[in-house]
Amino acid sequence: MNSPDTPQMIVLIGLMGSGKTTVGRALAKRLKLVFSDSDDAVEKIAKRSVREIFENQGEDIFRKLESQALVELCDAKSPTVLAVAGGAIISQSNRDLLQKNAKCIVWLDAPTPTLISRTGRGKHRPLLDGDPVGSLNKMRLDREPLYQSLATHHLVTQSQTIDEVVERIISLCSLQTNGLSLTESSENGAVR
Ligand code: S3P
């Protein structure tokens, strides 16, 4: 039985285009849990799109809103699958918050060309407007140590289907699939 203090979140982190939202939504559906996405929460708080926030208020304000959104999301009363936008882990306090509240933190990763082909579909990524390959390569260099330090599991995806990635996360995190709680089904099989 989970105590009220038991972390109730499965957290997905990784660069833009790594599949956090797509996989997170499918994982939540499979586990019958709530799905949340930090960019959606930011847009709800700000009542404007991520792109509008970047363009009108700048990245610093976006990052403040992002931290606020994470505090609210980590206060969720129901077990949640949380997709955390790529840059949120830059902040130490965001990292501490996620570490405190997550049952497991999965770093979704993919080669840069794969990220590029996926990010073409999102309008909420102004940081990729100019030189997406150069920007993503720089972000990879800057952020990889942070993803690494935070993640309980690292999963490189390229040709797997969404369902395959979902099943892999369920297995890596030893999750039960009855949708009642985030208790473990067996000994936690964390690998790094
Ligand atoms: C960003 C990632 C985006 C969005 C914004 C900035 C980043 O979210 O928050 O464009 O700095 O990596 P996704 O990771 O969901 O694409």
> Ligand 1 in contact with 16 (CB < 6 A)?
yes
Burial class from Cβ neighbours inside 10 Å (0-12, 13-18, 19+) for residue 184 reads middle
CA distances in angstroms from 100 to 12, 106, 188, listed in the order given: 14, 14, 17
As a whole-number percent, the residues of the chain with pLDDT over 70 amount to: 88
Q: For residue 6, what pLDDT is reported? A: 59
| CA–centroid distance, residue 155 to ligand 1 (Å) | 19
* Contact 103 CB / ligand 1 (< 6 Å): no
How do residues 79-129 score in pLDDT, each as one tens digit? Answer: 999 999 999 999 999 999 999 999 999 999 999 999 999 997 668 999 999
Tens digits of residue pLDDT in 165-191: 999 999 999 998 776 555 544 333 322
Average pLDDT of the chain to the nearest whole number: 90
Please state which of the ranges 146-150, 157-161, 175-179, 186-190 shows the lowest mean pLDDT: 186-190
Rounded CA-CA distance 155/169 in Å is 8
- On whether the pTM is more than 0.85, the answer is yes
- Distance (Å) from CA 183 to ligand 1 centroid: 30
Query: Residues of the chain with pLDDT > 90: what percent?
Result: 80
What is the residue type of 4?
P
Is residue 37 classed as helix, strand or coil in its secondary structure? strand
Contact 52, 151 (CB under 8 A): no
Residue nearest to atom 5 of ligand 1 (CA): 125
| Any ligand 1 atom below 6 A from CB of 13 | no
